[in-house]
């Protein structure tokens, strides 16, 4: 089964495509914890990008079930 999540290694860079609507899903390779990350456009006045992160409990449970990850 192909993973819905992009595999990144420690320190890897990534780009946010416009088609994604600025929403990404990250899954930890060790514990399977999934977060939804919402990224907003660059603010030209402050030269900053705003990002918000939310824990995705149902996606986390699914990833852990598929990968056989047990968390105590």
Query: What is the domain range of residue 32?
Result: 18-67
Number of domains in the chain: 1
Question: Do 26 and 34 contact (CB within 8 A), yes or no?
Answer: yes
Query: What per-residue confidence (pLDDT) applies to 59?
Result: 92
Q: What is the pTM of this model?
A: 0.64
Q: Is 10 a domain residue?
A: no
Q: Are 36 and 24 in contact (CB under 8 A)?
A: yes
12 located within any domain: no
Whether 60 is in a domain gets the answer yes
Please check whether residue 2 lies inside any domain of the structure.
no
pLDDT over threshold 90, residue 5:
no
What's the pLDDT score for residue 35? 87
Q: Is 27 part of any domain?
A: yes
What is the C-alpha to C-alpha distance for residues 49 and 21, in angstroms, rounded to an integer? 14
Determine, yes or no, domain membership for 61.
Answer: yes
**In this structure, is residue 6 part of a structural domain?**
no
Residues 11-59: tens digit of each pLDDT: 887 777 656 667 778 777 778 888 888 888 777 888 878 888 899 999 9
């Amino acid at each position: 089964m192909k993973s819905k999540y992009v595999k990144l290694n420690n320190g890897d860079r990534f780009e946010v495509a416009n088609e994604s609507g600025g929403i990404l899903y990250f899954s930890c390779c060790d514990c399977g914890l999934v977060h939804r990350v919402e990224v907003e456009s660059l603010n030209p006045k402050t030269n900053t990008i705003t990002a918000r992160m939310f824990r995705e409990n149902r996606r986390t449970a699914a990833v852990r079930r598929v990968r056989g990850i047990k968390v105590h």
